[in-house]
């Protein structure tokens, strides 16, 4: 298995632009997570899905953030409009059978909003 | 309000010596704890876990200790190797199966050769 795949690996955009991050979880994993890593706050859970259904989105910082999982093999995290304070590394992770399972993380997308 | 705290942003240790990374939590309902390791430009990878019914779990050079009364856990790496240099995240959840993980901010470990 290729592991969790994220794209793009790096994204540089200007304030106000729409940003879409993509994730392909490990086949057979029924949980998918979106995390954000910043120096100040470390790893924060933004949202997680179980069987493509959003279960907890309490970590989504604002309405500018949205996430979808149209099928078991694909998820997106969208920021519209983007702001400089959104600059961070965004990780997607997946796990099997439990939201606290030994989740497998993707390599992350480094987002820079100018 | 951070429920999982790693108060040491960084730690430097000589190769061959013991590395001790600490983690404190505030939620007394947490009963499952994990450590993840992260190298630059990679995602975190699972390292070791412990359930609240135990106070120690060992896996090779890595041992996690849990002190429930103090709401404190620690990761010991013995002996430390240069390849252990990474960011270490502590994480906790309320139920081993059923609730999301809450991560600390991470500790950068540098092992000097």
Which tens digits make up the pLDDT trace of A38-63? 888 888 999 999 999 999 998 998 89
Distance CA A14, CA B54 (A): 49
Q: What is the pLDDT of residue A47?
A: 95
Confidence class of residue A20 from pLDDT cuts 50, 70 and 90? Answer: very high
SS3 A85: helix
Q: Which of A42, A56, A106 minimises the CB distance to B105?
A: A42
As a residue count, chain B comes to 113
SS3 B51: strand
For residues A112 and A14, the answer to whether their CB atoms sit within 8 Å is no
Residue B106 C-alpha, separation from nearest chain A C-alpha, in angstroms: 6
Which tens digits make up the pLDDT trace of B43-72? 999 999 999 999 999 999 999 999 999 999
Residue B14 C-alpha, separation from nearest chain A C-alpha, in angstroms: 25
């Amino acid at each position: 298995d290729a592991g969790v795949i994220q794209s793009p690996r790096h994204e540089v955009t200007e304030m106000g632009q729409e940003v879409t991050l993509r994730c392909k979880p490990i086949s057979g994993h029924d949980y998918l997570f979106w995390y954000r890593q910043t120096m100040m706050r470390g790893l924060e859970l933004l949202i997680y899905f179980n069987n493509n259904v959003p279960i907890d989105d309490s970590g989504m910082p604002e309405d500018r953030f949205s996430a979808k999982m149209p099928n078991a093999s694909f998820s997106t995290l969208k920021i519209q409009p983007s702001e400089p304070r959104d600059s961070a590394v965004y990780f997607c992770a997946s796990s099997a059978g439990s939201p606290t399972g030994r989740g497998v993380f993707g390599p992350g997308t480094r987002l820079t909003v100018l | 309000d951070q429920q999982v705290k790693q108060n040491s942003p960084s730690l430097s240790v000589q190769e061959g010596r013991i590395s001790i990374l600490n983690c404190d939590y505030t939620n007394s309902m947490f009963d499952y704890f994990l450590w993840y390791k992260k190298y630059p430009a990679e995602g975190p990878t699972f390292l070791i876990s412990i359930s609240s019914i135990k106070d120690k779990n060992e896996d090779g050079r890595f041992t996690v200790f849990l002190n429930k009364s103090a709401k404190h856990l620690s990761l010991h790496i013995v002996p430390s190797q240069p390849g252990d240099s990474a960011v270490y995240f502590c994480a906790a959840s309320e139920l081993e199966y059923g609730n999301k993980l809450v991560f600390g901010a991470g500790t950068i470990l540098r092992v000097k050769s």
